[in-house]
Each structure stands twice: as structure tokens, then as C-alpha cells.
Amino acid sequence: MNNLTKMDSVFVDKDVLAEKAVDEKYESGAFEAGGYKWKLVLYPNGNKSKNVQDHISLYLAVADTSSVTLGWEVYAVFRLFLLDQNQDNYLVVQDAMGKERRFNGLKLEWGFDQFIPLKAFNDASNGYLVEDTCIFGAEVFVKERNIVKGECLSMEKYAYSSKYVWKVENFSKLGEGRQESQVFSAGNHKWYQRFKFFF
């Protein structure tokens, strides 16, 4: 698809570090871009599951998957922002060369483990945290939507063992050609045996 959708979303959270520092993460409200709902996911003290320290972690995530079809995937290019409130400029962070990312049911979020060092964020001269207020944002370009057909393979925990004996009566009187056994069950499936012989 060539049509690109651009969406700017900004959320303001007062006391984000003071009140949310005890929380592992904080999620913004949902916004729409390219027919999908998105949100920002913020780890004020770093994403501990990825062993991040001394940095803020920030990610773009699909906010609502209940309305998408099974096997969905969407390609998007995005940039994440942090406002310098002193200069009214944004710190912009994006993948090198604007690399597109594939969001799907197995990968709902992409972003930056080390979005900004906490030391720089807390430095009042940078203007990122002013009067306990910070402003983050996102710009999302939805490039392509696909529905992927696939199957889920699940392995049986227990293997089934079955035995079937095919007793062939009057073997010497059978004519030339193919012979098939009766259908039998094994491991929740139906089977039969077949042989072909020539005289």
C-alpha cells in the first residue's frame, strides 16, 4: 500500500517520576493511526526485563488487537519524541534510516530500551522535566497491512501406540491387483493398509 497515515500523539503526565517511579511501566491513552489503535509504553526507571538501568525505556505498542483479524500484521515506520519545554523542541528518536517494523500478534511493541539517560532527563537545563511534567509523543506511518495465513502446530504430550493385525484369508486365491484392509483407528486418526502384487 502506498498511502501513509501520519499521527501525532502527545501525552502529558504530571509527577511521572515522583508518583510512577514505583511502577514498572506506565501506558498512555490510545490513539489511532492507519486504522489501528496505538499507545506509548514508558518505563520510568528502565525496562527491568531487559536489564536496563539508568535510562528511560519507551516503546510504541498496538493498543487493541480485539478488532483485528486472525493472522494480522502491519508494517509501520515511527518516531518517538520527548519535548524540551525550555526550547519548545522535540528530542526525536527513531531507527536508523527509518527502518520499518512489523507488528503482529507475537510482537505487539517496538521501541527503545535506552530512550534517554535518566541523568539527562532529570537535568533541568534540558527542559524535559519541568515542574514535574514531561511530554512524550509518537509519529506513526502505517505502510502496509497483511493478513498472514498460518497454522498452529501443537505436539501431543503422549505418543499413541496401536497394533492392528490384518489377516488375509485365501491369499493364494487373490487375483492380481491392489488389496486394502479395513479401516482401523490409532491415535485419534483413521488408517488402512494397502498392498499390490503381481503374478
Per-residue pLDDT, 181: 73
- Residue 25 pLDDT greater than 50, yes or no: yes
How far apart CA 104 and CA 109 sit, in angstroms, is 9
Per-residue pLDDT, 65: 73
Which domain covers residue 98, as residue numbers? 9-143
Q: How many domains does the chain have?
A: 2
- Residue 4 pLDDT greater than 50, yes or no: no
Angle at alpha carbon of residue 107, lines to 1 and 73, rounded to 5°: 25
Report if residue 148 sits inside a domain: no
Residue 20 and residue 44 in contact, taking contact as beta carbons nearer than 8 Å: yes
Considering the domain architecture, whether residues 29 and 83 belong to the same structural domain is answered as yes
Considering the domain architecture, whether residues 134 and 43 belong to the same structural domain is answered as yes
Per-residue pLDDT, 23: 54
Helix, strand and coil content of the chain, in percent to the nearest 5, comes to 10, 45, 40
Considering the domain architecture, whether residues 80 and 51 belong to the same structural domain is answered as yes
Torsion of the alpha carbons at 92, 96, 101 and 106, rounded to the nearest 10: -90
